[in-house]
Structure 1
Amino acid sequence: MHFSIPDTQEITDGSGSTYTSFNIHINGVFHCTARFSLLHSFHEQLKKEFGATALPPFPPKKLFPIAGPKLDERRLMLERYIQIVSQEAAIANSDVFNSFLLTAQQETQKEQPENVSLDVYLMNGHKISVNIISTDQTEDVLETVASQIDLPDDFVYYFGLYLVRKEDDSETSIVRKLQDFESPSISLKSANLKGVHRIVLRKCFWDSSFDDELLANKVAMNLLYVQAVSDIDRQWVLATKDQKEHLKSLQQKGSKREFLRLARTLKHYGYIQFHPCTADYPQANSRVVIAAGNKELNFRILVKPDAFKEAVFKITRIRCWRITTTVADDSDNPDSSLLELSFEYLIAKDTLQWITVQSEQAILMSMCLQGMVEELIMKKQGRKIKKPSDRVRRGKKNFTRENSIPSGLVQSPSSEKDDRPHLPVTQKHVNKTVSKLQDLKLLKGKGTQNGDSVTNSAFEDAIGDDDL
């Protein structure tokens, strides 16, 4: 996950008093705003749960209100704090962590729990309407959808809920996978203030061998089939003319299982493809189409009109990666920010090279990398995809009322456009968030930080001779 606190806002409470609230963005999207006292309460609860030694330093309290450079210093310290704690899997998956973010989202958006009907779509446009509580978190909604379509518990978490956006050409693009610390109903409502969005049910695993477990169940197989047809139609999955004709024949016969078996043999089956973007590989300002899947990033590099060459970057050879957002000193052009994904790659034995991609979907690319790495380690450790019965349901943590956000007083930053990070543009601002390869600490020891990237001594142990 990528956390940032790019700016603050002044809020007036019911008594007329004014205080500063910090705007928290997650994965490039405004999530909530929280005052310092609420964040301090969050820190105290983490201390009770995990101990003070497991946490980074928290910004000290001040006797008097702060402003100017001191306020900006506190903002940066809070940003660094939440970035560090979010990288610890035990903390990021804890009830304290998720309850804080879920509660803060509800209070920021002034959402009161109520019965609502939420529409969840398949990739072919089929709509599944479910009755939920407006503040239900993602896993609750996913399990409700699965129950309604009779998807067995064993297969629920092979799928996930994704926020997708309708583009001008009537196509849809994936914005992000919804996380457990948010309410799909609230997130959809907020996203629709900036364009037409919907929530879509898609498979969320990367290894196509998992398909074997799903093909025996009719509901799971139908979900895979619908997604495969969509991905082939939008040319995310590449097929020759003969293969397309064979697939069409199988569709007409209603032979879904055979259709999927053929689809699994096609190039880029199960990949997510991103919008065309710019990279510095193989040279500066190269135009590329990137797809993520099968433990790799695949680059299709435009060498001349309608002619591409391919480059493949295996996740086992990516030493680390980072997201960088740079906003130029141009207050008249708020869209001048650049979102970059940079990764350090073992290009040859004993040779590492940084490769940078400029894309509005850089954070989604990073989350795909993280998902593939986590799945690879899960399989190496012999673990399975979780089931609803594996969830620990302790209920929400109660944060003190005096620290809560007064209802009706907070608005999302009005200058946020689309789903790009909301950052101040009155000065040059560089915000760097580092993502660890989540397997590194699990494989051997702890990582060490050099500059703004995270490395690990176990990196070479994660690479086999076949990868070089």
Structure 2
Amino acid sequence: MHFSIPETEVRSDENGSTYVAYNIHVNGVLHCRVRYSQLLGLHEQIKKEYGNNVVPAFPPKKIFTLTPAEVDQRREQLEKYMQAVRQDPILGSSEMFNSFLRKAQQETQQIPTEEVQLEIYLSNGQKVKVNILTSDQTEDVLEVRMLFCTHTFHLVSHSLVQTSLTSHGAPDVRKLQEFELPYVSITSLHSPDYRIVLRKSYWDTAYDSDVMDDRMGLNLLYAQTVSEIERGWILVNKEQHRQLKSLQEKGSKKEFIRLAQTLKYYGYIKFDPCITDFPEKGCHVIVGAGNNELNFHVKLPNDQMKEGSFKVTRMRCWRVTSSQVPVANGTANPSSPSKCDVKLELAFEYLMSKDRLQWVTITSPQAIMMSICLQSMVDELMVKKSGGSIKKMQKKRLNGTFQRSDSQQTVKSPPLLDSPDPSREQVVKLSTKLSSVSLRGLSSSNSASDISGNEFHGNYAFEGIGDDDL
């Protein structure tokens, strides 16, 4: 997760006294406003619980009123502090830190604790409702929804999805975190274009079998698979489409999913078209995340289309950066202040060959989500490498008792697949290779074979992988 404090505000308290509020953003969206004294209180609690040696440096108190320059300096210091705490595996996952952020989020949005109905969607657009408290955290809401399917509970998650795009577009997806309140998060966006969607929360398709062992889990995975085929995320030729439709008509959901697992880009998330500097500056690219890689469909300046993959095991590190880009304000007065857009970039350092590292940059409004995908893939790989279980990593302890309500509605099957869009069938065939990353021409083949270049088998893999620059 990308924590930042890009701005401050001068606000008034209930007594009329003014104070500086620090706006904490998560993934580029305002999460909460806090005072310096609140963060200092959190810091003191963390010190008391974990000791001085674990806690990162905190900006000191000042006797006199801060100048604007000092306020900005403190803002930068607090931003680094929040990033350091979040990235620490112990502090960042502590209930102390997460409960602080949840409380601050609720106070910032001024939403009282009360019982409400929260709408949760499936990938096929079906809507279910759950009765929750506005102060219920993500885990609590997920428990209510998944109370009667314990296998699925550990392998699914809520995602906040922007749904205003076309049916074949790539929605803006992010996973709801343990430090936020789902009802407050969705309400604070003040937009009908966002909804909470239930999706699987793992990358290794081997876990599909665990999900399919449960009836509700099977329906959830089936709905998501159908949706991703219709959206064009999973490539399907005419014969495969015919087989899938036949399985749908028979109601053979497991067989439908197993066939889909053999198709190209099953389990990938696709992002909106964006810009990359690989293999040349200014190339248009569609990025997909899945199978422990970032997949590129690149349009070169000469209009050739090529495809290639960057394995996360060959990424030394990555970073997300943001900058302000002026945009024309449409006024005739050149002296008028211009508005600015935020430009986001994901850059990763990649092992192109045994002795050659190269930075690759993607310019996209969804750069933070791409970074989150990379981190979650690495986390999953590291757990498996250490002999652990991804289910144990994701498992949350079930707390409390919940009443079964209309949240346990039957998950309906999605409609039958439409005929494949012929415009999605790729017909260009090229074979140019660039370094050890193969950018091959797009074809109508749906082979799921690995398209990355020569695999490097040294101990370099996983070295330095992380979000240390985030």
Determine the structure 2 residue equivalent to 1:449.
none
| Counterpart position of 1:255 | 252
1:4 Cα deviation (Å)? 0.5
Deviation at 1:376, TM superposition (A): 0.8
Letter of the 2:180 counterpart? E
Deviation at 1:269, TM superposition (A): 0.3
Segment drifting more, 153-162 vs 115-124: 153-162
Are 2:66 and 1:75 aligned? no
Matched, 1:302 2:299: yes
Contact 2:321 2:344 in 1 (8 A): yes
CA displacement at 1:461 relative to structure 2: 5.3
Q: Deviations over 1:366-421 (max 9, x none)?
A: 00001101111111222221399743979xxxxxxxxxxxxxxxxxxxxxxxxxxx
TM-score by length of 2: 0.80
Q: State the AA in 2 paired with 1:267.
A: K
Distance 1:329 1:81 in 2: 29
- Name the residue aligned to 1:107: 107
Correspondence 1:59-458 to 2 at 5 A: 59-147=59-147, 150-151=148-149, 153-169=150-166, 173-191=171-189, 193-303=190-300, 308-328=305-325, 332-384=337-389, 385-386=391-392, 390-391=396-397
Distance (whole Å) between structure 2 residues aligned to residue 6 and residue 205 of structure 1:
31
> 1:344 corresponds to which letter in structure 2?
E
Q: Percent identity over the alignment?
A: 48
- TM-score scaled to structure 1, two decimals? 0.81
1:264-300 superposed Cα distances (whole Å, 9 cap, x missing partner): 0001101100000000001001100000001000001
Letter of the 1:300 partner, please give it.
Answer: H
Following superposition, the deviation at residue 245 of structure 1 comes to: 1.3
Preserved contact between residue 383 and residue 393 of structure 2 (Cα < 8 Å): no
| Shift in Å, 1:13 | 1.1
Superposed displacement of residue 64, structure 1: 2.0
What CA deviation, in whole Å up to 9, does each residue of 1:99-157 have, x standing for no partner? 1100100110112110000010101111111000011000110111112xx32x23202
**Separation in 1, partners of 2:69, 2:191:** 32
Q: Which runs of 4+ in 1 moved over 6 A?
A: none
Give yes or no for contact 2:276–2:285 (8 Å, CA) kept in 1.
Answer: yes
> Rg bigger for which structure?
2
In structure 2, distance between residues paired with 1:333 and 1:280: 28
Q: Any stretches of 5+ residues in structure 2 without a counterpart?
A: 328-335, 401-457, 464-470
How far residue 235 of structure 1 moved from its aligned partner, in angstroms, is 0.5
Contact residue 166 and residue 172 of structure 1 kept, 8 A: no
Give the SS at the match of 1:107: helix
- Distance across 1 between alignment mates of 2:392 and 2:109: 31
Q: Secondary structure at the match of 1:54?
A: coil
Give the distance between the partners of 1:163 and 1:301, measured in 2 at CA: 28
Offset of 1:196 from its aligned partner?
A: 1.8
> Alpha carbon RMSD of aligned pairs, Å?
2.1
Distance 1:197 1:269, change over 3 A: same
2:164 and 2:23 map into 1 onto residues whose CA distance is: 27
Post-superposition offset of 1:71: 0.7
SS of 1:113's equivalent?
coil
Q: Secondary structure at the match of 1:386?
A: helix
CA deviation after TM superposition for structure 1 residue 307, in Å? 5.5
Secondary structure of the 1:263 match is helix
Shift of residue 306, structure 1, vs aligned partner? 8.3
Shift of the 20–55 alpha-carbon distance from structure 1 to 2, 3 Å rule, reads same
- Whether the 8 Å CA contact 2:120–2:197 is kept in 1: the answer is yes
Aligned-partner Cα distance in 1 for 2:337–2:459: 44
Cα distance in 2 for partners of 1:334, 1:367 equals 29
Unaligned runs of 5+ in 1: 395-457, 464-468
Cα deviation, 1:62-115, whole Å, max 9, x if unaligned, reads: 112213111110000001111111111111110111011001001101121100
